[in-house]
């Protein structure tokens, strides 16, 4: 299984070219990736979604990214944060680490180094405490990237797993079609207009047959919502 399976990352970066490059390479490793360009949007995102890692630029249109680090260290003390910044002198690096960032990577950087640092912060005990997600009768094993009902593993193909992982992480909330497609497909994949719907339809049937106690609802024109069966 690839290293990014079931891991959800928020990129906070206002330079669109950098953000898109990061999103593409992370999605190729099966990370679930969201992107925002401003601190205000980042605050909203972390309030509604349980991220596994934040990649954070410092120089943003509405302030210094370190102000977000201070908030996250109070509200989400175990959430790994890697600062990505062109501000690379000793004082800047020390300030970032003293505020609570787990690592500080200076732009420009090699993608191989970024992946190595992601692996390093995810090995720390605070990150490993959440090993499974539960909803209804279903348990999603984050470590082994599999879904089980009553201890029985569901027979899901890779893209069905990606859809389920994304919906489980945001259970009870509507997930945009764009977010699901980004989680499921590589940047060079051709996505047909009804392909995602086909994956969801098969996943819905398998959850029902397994007695997972979960329903996937279509929110017309927006996306999908996973919630317990009524």
Residues 131-145: pLDDT tens digits? Answer: 678 889 999 987 678
Is the peptide bond preceding residue 108 cis, with omega within 30 degrees of 0? yes
- Residue 217's φ and ψ, nearest 5 degrees, are -100, 135
Predicted local distance difference test score (pLDDT) of residue 187: 44
Which of the pair, 177 or 4, is modelled with greater confidence?
A: 177
Q: What is the dihedral of CA 182, 22, 13, 4, to 10 degrees?
A: 60
The whole-model pTM stands at 0.58
Q: For residue range 75-92, what is the model confidence (pLDDT) as tens digits? A: 777 889 999 999 989 999
Which domains does the chain show, CATH number per domain?
8-128 (3.40.50.2300), 132-228 (1.10.10.10)
Q: What is the mean pLDDT of residues 103-123?
A: 92
Q: Is pLDDT above 60 for 198? A: yes
Report whether pLDDT(207) > 90.
Answer: yes
Look at residue 107 and give its three-state secondary structure: coil
The per-residue pLDDT of the chain, averaged, comes to 86
Q: Which of 129, 130, 125, 121 is nearest to 97 (CA)?
A: 121
């Amino acid at each position: 299984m690839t290293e990014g399976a079931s891991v959800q990352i928020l990129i906070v970066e206002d330079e669109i070219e950098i953000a898109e490059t990061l999103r593409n390479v992370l999605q190729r490793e099966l990370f679930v990736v969201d992107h925002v360009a401003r601190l205000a949007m980042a605050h909203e995102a972390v309030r509604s979604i349980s991220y596994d890692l934040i990649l954070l630029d410092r120089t943003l249109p509405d302030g210094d990214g370190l102000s977000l680090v201070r908030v996250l260290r109070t509200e989400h003390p175990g959430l790994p944060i890697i600062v990505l910044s062109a501000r690379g002198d000793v004082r800047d690096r020390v300030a970032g680490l003293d505020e609570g960032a787990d690592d500080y990577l200076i732009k420009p950087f090699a993608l191989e180094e970024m992946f190595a640092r992601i692996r390093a912060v995810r090995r720390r005990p605070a990150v490993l405490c959440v090993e499974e997600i539960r909803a209804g009768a279903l348990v999603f094993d984050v470590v082994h990237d599999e879904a089980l009902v009553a201890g029985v593993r569901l027979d899901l193909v890779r893209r069905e797993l990606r859809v389920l992982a994304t919906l489980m992480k945001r259970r009870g909330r509507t997930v945009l079609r764009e977010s699901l497609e980004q989680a499921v497909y590589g940047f060079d994949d051709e996505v047909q207009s009804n392909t995602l719907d086909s994956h969801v339809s098969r996943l819905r049937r398998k959850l029902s047959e397994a007695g997972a106690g979960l329903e996937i609802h279509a929110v017309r024109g927006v996306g999908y919502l996973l919630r317990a069966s009524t």
